Structure 1
Amino acid sequence: MKTSLSWLREFVELPAEITASELDTALTNLGMEVEGIVDQAGTILGDLVVGRVLTIEELTGFKKPIRFTTVDVGRDAPQEIVCGARNFAEGDLVVVILPGGELPGGFKIGARKTYGRNSHGMICSAAELGLSGDHSGIIVLPAGTAAPGVDARPVVGLDDVLIEVEITPDRGYEMSVRGIARELATYFGVPFTDPASRSVAGATAEVPWPVTVEDTVGCDRFAARVVRGIDPAAQSPEWMQRRLIAAGIRAISLPVDITNYLMLEFGQPMHVFDLQRLRGGLTVRRARAGEKLTTLDGVVRVLDAEDMVICDETGPISLAAVMGGETSEWQEGTVDVLLEAAHWDSVMVGRTARRHKLFSEAAKRWERGVDPSLPLAALQKAVDILVEHAGGVVDEHVLDIDHVVAPVALTLPADAPARLIGLPYSSSDVASLLRKVGCEVTGDQVLSVVPPTWRPDLVAPIDLVEEVARLGGYNEIPSVLPPAGSSNGLTPAQKRRRSVGRSLAENGYVEVLSYPFVSPGTADALGLPPADPRRSAVRLTNPLSEEEPLLRTTLLGPLLGILKRNLGRGRRDVALFEAGTVFLPHLTSTAPPELGVDRRPDNAEWSAANAIVPEQPWHLAVVLTGDIEPAGWWGPGRAATWADAIEAARVTLSAAGVPDGLVTVRAAEHAPWHPGRCAEILVDGTVVGHAGELHPAVLAAFELPKRTSAAEIDLDALPDAPVVDAPKISTFPPALIDVALVLDRTVPAAEVQAALAEGAGALLESVALFDVYESEQVGEGKRSLAYKLTFRAPDRTLTSEETIAARDAAVAVTASRFGAVLRGA
């Protein structure tokens, strides 16, 4: 919100010598974020003075008319200035910036030779001074305004202070001069004059134009006035243009400028219709799905059934509360106008603006809340200004369709602010502070508070407590830490998530966070079968993006999108992980009961409502591509494979406290993984996840490199970590034996390792696969798996006979189970 100090002073008696710092402090303490306070006098550097044109010489021979002038600027000698404007004559008073000065935008003024003459300074237009967009000529001051040489800043209105503040979403009333002035009056304890407190004409039996409101929820008030026979060439007064430009709004035409001006001053957005372009009476209704409207920005918009529109006999002519339509806008030559001021539902406007990505100044105010008592006052002032500057005849009839519901009284215990804020507010203090913002307060120990119409944000007792804290002074609230209650520390699930994340980070993975929203095409991109339950996703009623309306059922869709983005930024070797919830809907759930707000739901209603809430297990997923070990002078490096994804799953389970003996890895087929390079991860016989290389079709859909691998684990499916006993360390030396087994290549290495451990017995300390070999020497369809076996006894040094016997027992189990043969035997 941008405004000026002089505009505010019209309605609030601020201290005469208020400084920018004091104003900044006041606005900040009132809850506004001050973006800037600029003294306009400082935007133009150097001497800006009033001058009197003494002589004018017309220069010829140039492509455009040029004048050589002498100007009295209050110095010893007249100033010679070359000027291209022609809207002034000898004897006129003008505004001159002298050499050494600087105009807004960094345009420096000096003495130079141009068009064959010396020019010392410049005669200024309103546009060059930043006062308006008028480039048609220079500023000509009325006779007798000031003597030559006098500082021109106060003469042309450059002695003002511009203020820009950021308004929080709950305080729409502050998006107006009226609202900010009222707040400053409260802060400084000075009188406030409400610009909306004026004598207005009420609704008449006959209306100036027929209007029907079909939806009184979306539009609970619609008022209109008609003015006929205005001067279509009438210009907006200079003071209005200056204030609009200071607020960042371009001056367009007098009727449109008036509506914009009153939107800034009152906070009441308005619209002006060309009566000559309307076809029949107006109807205010919800749009019909599929209807189209071309808005003032030239865009054809397909309307939604929730949108509100204003229609005539031809159909929609305005997207209500957001933007008007091309077919009814004011145009040059318009002489009969209908001025509209209404009150619209804030929720409807907010959704419409987001749906059409059309955040107009009007829509910003409507979705924050506008005072419903303003329409007639705004219309009256609009009519007065229009007639004063453009003539015309005001229709004596007034339209006012009013269905506004009066504010509801809120009940507030008088001691609530003291208890919640921590300051000793008495009952009278609370009542006094609330009355300052316009509330009607009655009662003593229990206060009955009726919020004013301009405060739609005061809807609950806690909002009143916040107002007491704000008006009482945030700086007065002591900084006291809340008492720390007893706690059992982190839950097992929290400890597991932190341990898993830390372990993966230590293994070279980078954690990322993605939105849990996916597009309907994600399931197809992941290659999920038609009957896969992960295809059934929860659809959001009001998604952030219409392109991603579903909640994810797997982490891999968004995670692969992040991987693609990193690859697109030039990263080649990427290893990412994410931990988060997935959303698995209850497909057999029925619709929940409709719950009111007048009471708490009973147990049956609560259970029925929760029955549709999807399951939200916590998953962890990793994706990796490129080199897992970097190449360099030390060697060629190593590319990431499906085995690294499986190892990431093992790291996850280990960090979660799952004992190795409970973990099983075996071949499986599960989308989106490659059928021949996919493993399912089991814990104590239960499948908790999958890992391996992604299917080539999935990689093509996401435009990812070949051999990209991934894993996804259901962390909530893991058992709680058991209590770990301290390991018993043997002081006796280990016995190390390697075995190489030849067997069918289809036999999983993990199952062979488990068989070796089973056969070796209690003396086996560890077993690890260290080599996989395939060749013609091994045999067609065969491969060699080499394992390191470590044997150790806790109470003695093992003999070679004991070690060999244990090894032979281990090999015997693999031979009987898989037909394994010792290589070289």
Structure 2
Amino acid sequence: MKFTLSWLKEHLDTDASLDDIVETMVAVGLEVEAVENPEERLAAFSIGEVLEANPHPDADKLQVCKVATKDGEMQIVCGAPNARAGIKVAYAPVGAYVPGIDVTLSKAKIRGVESFGMMCSVRELEMGDDHDGIIEAPASAKVGDPVAKIMGANDPVIDFEVTPNRPDTNGVNGVARDLAAAGLGKLITPEPKPLKGAYPSPQKVVLDFPAGSENACPAFAGRYVRGVKNGPSPKWLQDRLRALGLRPISALVDITNYMSYDRARPLHVFDADKLNGVLRARLGKQGEKFLALDGKEYKVDETMTVIADDAAVLGLGGIMGGEDTGCTEETTNVFIECAYFDPLRTAKTGRKTGIASDARYRFERGVDPAFILPGMEMATQLVMDMCGGEPSEIVLAGDIPQMDKTVLFPPVEVKRLTGLDVAPQDCEQILSALGFTVRKSDPWQVDAPSWRPDIEGKADLVEEIARITGFDKLPAAPLPMLKAVETPKLTAGQERRRMARRALAGRGLLEAVTWSFLDQKHAELFMSANVIKAKGLILANPIASDLGVMRSSLLPNLIAALQRNADRGRDDLALFEVAPIYVGDQPTDHANAAGGARRSDPRRHWQGVAAKVDVFTVKADAMAALEAAGAPVASLQTAAEAPDYFHPGRSGALRLGPKTLAHFGEIHPRVLKAMDVDGPVHGFEVFLDLIPEPKKKAAKTRPALDASELLPLSRDFAFVVDEAVAAEALLKAVRGAEKKLISDVSLFDVYQGKGVPEGKKSLAVEVTLQPRDKTLTDEEIEAVSARIVAQVEKAVGGSLRA
């Protein structure tokens, strides 16, 4: 939102400086982004006087002028048709930057004649669009005077950010009201005076909405004005619009833009002679379309509010009008529309069409419904002042929405919520200055003005008083003293995620942060997990077409990230992420997971080629994350029950009883092909929330070192078992044979072939025995070995290989 200092002073009687105004705006919550002072931008340009203007010896359309300037007499070659002796001009010296042509002047020769500087046009100084000749300053101007001051281009422009809860500050009068409440001056915004209509309006308006949709446009006011003469708007209005970055078009169009910025009241002016029959506000219909004022054609559907006559759609309500009924220089009769449109429907229509207009910006945030008729009176007066004409009576379809809202407000709330000690009379003064009506009962009854839709309760009134009083006056209080004994700062879940993150980083994976959304096609590929039953949460308003579903797995985005890096030459990456996944729309329907993905080809190294990534690599990743997060990894079981997006036979799951804590393996080629990813890729996913809490509360001190002074010893066993027996079952049987002595069991060989019967396989394991009290005798070792063989035979039907 932009406005000029002189514009503000039409609403605020103040002697405050520009710096004081900007500082006060920031203090009351109107965040100023920039202040542009044209006088500083045009400081290099001054008034000069043409003393002589003689034809150029080598060019028919050029003149060699002798110009009196603040730097003395200068010779300047000029091609402007109005360059002549005796006129006052805008002089730019050598070294000046001319903004309109983006050129820094230097001494030059033009067709053999030296030129020292330039005489500028209006457009070259960005003071207008005129480029037919150089500026002719008033004869009263003196040589050396600043051009900005003489030409009235010294009005500073303030640009500030309008927060969504303050739609009233989309108008200059709203800014002036806040500054007046802060004590920076007196609010002098004039109230529009009613104009008596000279005749009944020949143009009728109606509301035509089905039941339940009446709030799309509850009120539609209009007024016919005949006999207008459209043309350029006055210079003061053109200057203000240019200061905002808007291009003046014609008086009738410029008036609507002025109303939007002066009073935050968008409206529209139709060429009445181009209307056919009754003007209706209604919902659109499939197949309808119209040509908008931006020159583009837009399709309309049944969710949009449109303005239409008996022939066609004329525009989108609250967003943009149509070109077919727009005003031109030939317009002689107009119909002014001033209506109220539903903010939510306006915002949805704007998103669908992609139209970003000043009207949409204001209507979707909320305009003052009580200003419909006063806004019509003000717009009518402006039209008559600039274009003449005779107005009709106002026609109104529907009822103007009543925004009556009374808040019960005890003044002591200010002290309780903010710590500010503001006297009740000061509270009343601030609220009254902001447009609130205060009735002093117990508690106070405060009526919010119609232009403040953000006021809901007493806390909002406290905020109003606090911001006008000054947030810089909030009392400062020291933080409470820390406790003598520090308590944990992280929850158990946060600690799990932190430790899993550290473990995976330690295994050489790089952490990635991906979107919580993904493409629906990719999401459907990963919805078959046997741990998380996800249905796919489709977003109603996605930020992009390929980010329309909440993720139920971390793997799709990680795999896609691997491919993006591979496309750029980094095909050796391994990525992980610790983040939530979403399986439903309830607060409890999300889980914390740690996932990772690896490409299978390592980089070459002078020490030799590292081993390729396989299913056991990602199993080790998952085990490391589980162990770091506190899972009892010694009790985990490996099962071949991975989801179908993993390769069968090259994947598995880690289970603790009936719970599946993780799955891992090679991503199925079918999935990679659907995602357009080059394989092979291996991945894993650990479900941190399924890890059981430890039975005992973790102690802050480390446990005693449980180490034996005696050397361990190892024995190798080769068992012949059925081909279907899982190695995990064999390892579990061996561990259970003698829990006190067996400290470790590891598989080191799997063999099928000569010497092993068909349908069987040989599993060779290394068993580590750790004596505690004494060195084991040969008899004791043999006894343990016998128990191991017996346990394996009982558990899995295995026997020692001959």
Q: TM-score, normalised by structure 2?
A: 0.89
Change (3 A) 1:206 1:242: same
Change (3 A) 1:204 1:762: farther
Deviation (angstroms), 1:785: 4.4
Change (3 A) 1:360 1:76: closer
Q: Deviations over 1:682-728 (max 9, x none)?
A: 11233344221111111112222323122233333332123377563
- Structure 2 residue 399 is matched with structure 1 residue 405: no
* Maintained 8 Å contact 1:53/1:94: no
Paired letter, 2:235: E
Q: Deviations over 1:118-147 (max 9, x none)?
A: 3332221111111123333332335x4423
Q: For 1:410-809, list aligned pairs within 5 A.
A: 410-480=407-477, 490-526=490-526, 528=528, 534=533, 536-545=535-544, 548-585=547-584, 613=586, 615-626=588-599, 631-723=604-696, 728-741=706-719, 746-771=724-749, 785-809=763-787
* Maintained 8 Å contact 1:577/1:620: no
Deviation (angstroms), 1:746: 4.9
* Maintained 8 Å contact 1:43/1:103: no
In 1, the alpha carbon distance for the partners of 2:747 and 2:555 equals 30
- Structure 2 residue 193 is matched with structure 1 residue 206: no
Change (3 A) 1:778 1:632: farther
Change (3 A) 1:758 1:159: same
Counterpart in the other structure of 2:357: 360
* Maintained 8 Å contact 2:747/2:766: yes
Change (3 A) 1:802 1:53: farther
Q: For residue 363 of structure 1, give the secondary structure of its aligned residue in structure 2.
A: helix
Q: Deviations over 1:343-383 (max 9, x none)?
A: 22222222222233333222222222222233444444444
1:159 to 136, 142, 154: 154
Counterpart in the other structure of 1:5: 5
Paired letter, 1:692: G
Q: Deviations over 1:556-580 (max 9, x none)?
A: 3444444444444543233333344
Deviation (angstroms), 1:415: 0.8
Deviation (angstroms), 1:636: 0.9
* Maintained 8 Å contact 1:50/1:146: no
Deviation (angstroms), 1:410: 1.0
In 1, the alpha carbon distance for the partners of 2:218 and 2:54 equals 61
User: Structure 1 unaligned runs (5+)?
Assistant: 586-611
Q: Deviations over 1:610-645 (max 9, x none)?
A: xx8375141414232226976422221233222222
Change (3 A) 1:470 1:364: same
1:41 to 22, 39, 43: 39
Paired letter, 2:243: A
Counterpart in the other structure of 1:592: none
Deviation (angstroms), 1:466: 0.9
In 2, the alpha carbon distance for the partners of 1:549 and 1:404 equals 37
Q: Single out whichever of 573-582 and 250-259 deviates more from structure 2.
A: 573-582
Deviation (angstroms), 1:474: 0.4
Change (3 A) 1:475 1:794: same
Paired letter, 1:641: D
Change (3 A) 1:14 1:800: farther
Paired letter, 1:668: E
Paired letter, 2:726: P
In 2, the alpha carbon distance for the partners of 1:628 and 1:757 equals 36
* Maintained 8 Å contact 2:551/2:581: yes
Change (3 A) 1:271 1:527: same
- Structure 2 residue 288 is matched with structure 1 residue 306: no
In 1, the alpha carbon distance for the partners of 2:482 and 2:220 equals 54
In 2, the alpha carbon distance for the partners of 1:378 and 1:60 equals 60
Q: Single out whichever of 92-101 and 686-695 deviates more from structure 2.
A: 92-101
* Maintained 8 Å contact 1:14/1:188: no
* Maintained 8 Å contact 1:667/1:678: yes
* Maintained 8 Å contact 2:369/2:400: no
1:278 to 275, 279, 283: 275
2:90 to 91, 95, 99: 95
Deviation (angstroms), 1:248: 1.7
* Maintained 8 Å contact 1:642/1:707: no
Change (3 A) 1:764 1:154: same
Change (3 A) 1:156 1:450: same
Change (3 A) 1:157 1:817: same
Deviation (angstroms), 1:286: 2.5
Q: For 1:119-130, list aligned pairs within 5 A.
A: 119-130=115-126
In 2, the alpha carbon distance for the partners of 1:697 and 1:704 equals 10
- Structure 2 residue 182 is matched with structure 1 residue 181: no
* Maintained 8 Å contact 1:292/1:301: yes
Change (3 A) 1:774 1:274: farther
Change (3 A) 1:243 1:729: same
Change (3 A) 1:720 1:735: same
* Maintained 8 Å contact 1:427/1:444: no
Give aligned pairs, total. Answer: 788
* Maintained 8 Å contact 2:206/2:279: yes
Paired letter, 1:461: K
* Maintained 8 Å contact 1:693/1:708: yes
In 2, the alpha carbon distance for the partners of 1:546 and 1:102 equals 45
Change (3 A) 1:627 1:697: closer
Q: For residue 468 of structure 1, give the secondary structure of its aligned residue in structure 2.
A: helix
Change (3 A) 1:649 1:186: same
Q: For residue 620 of structure 1, give the secondary structure of its aligned residue in structure 2.
A: strand
Change (3 A) 1:396 1:786: same
2:215 to 208, 217, 220: 217
1:324 to 286, 310, 321: 321
Deviation (angstroms), 1:420: 0.4
2:342 to 326, 331, 345: 345
Counterpart in the other structure of 1:602: none
Q: Percent identity?
A: 31
Q: For residue 635 of structure 1, give the secondary structure of its aligned residue in structure 2.
A: coil
Deviation (angstroms), 1:732: 1.7
How large is the Cα RMSD of the aligned pairs? 3.3
Change (3 A) 1:761 1:70: closer
Deviation (angstroms), 1:283: 0.9
2:55 to 54, 57, 60: 57
* Maintained 8 Å contact 2:719/2:800: yes
Deviation (angstroms), 1:820: 5.0
Counterpart in the other structure of 2:289: 292
* Maintained 8 Å contact 1:127/1:135: yes
Change (3 A) 1:258 1:617: closer
Counterpart in the other structure of 1:136: 132
Q: Single out whichever of 256-265 and 751-760 deviates more from structure 2.
A: 751-760
Paired letter, 1:717: L
Q: TM-score, normalised by structure 1?
A: 0.87
* Maintained 8 Å contact 1:527/1:697: no
* Maintained 8 Å contact 1:2/1:163: yes
Deviation (angstroms), 1:545: 4.6
* Maintained 8 Å contact 2:43/2:148: no
In 2, the alpha carbon distance for the partners of 1:661 and 1:552 equals 31
Deviation (angstroms), 1:737: 2.5
Paired letter, 1:316: V
Paired letter, 1:508: G
Counterpart in the other structure of 1:14: 14
Q: For residue 432 of structure 1, give the secondary structure of its aligned residue in structure 2.
A: helix
Paired letter, 2:572: D
User: Structure 2 unaligned runs (5+)?
Assistant: none
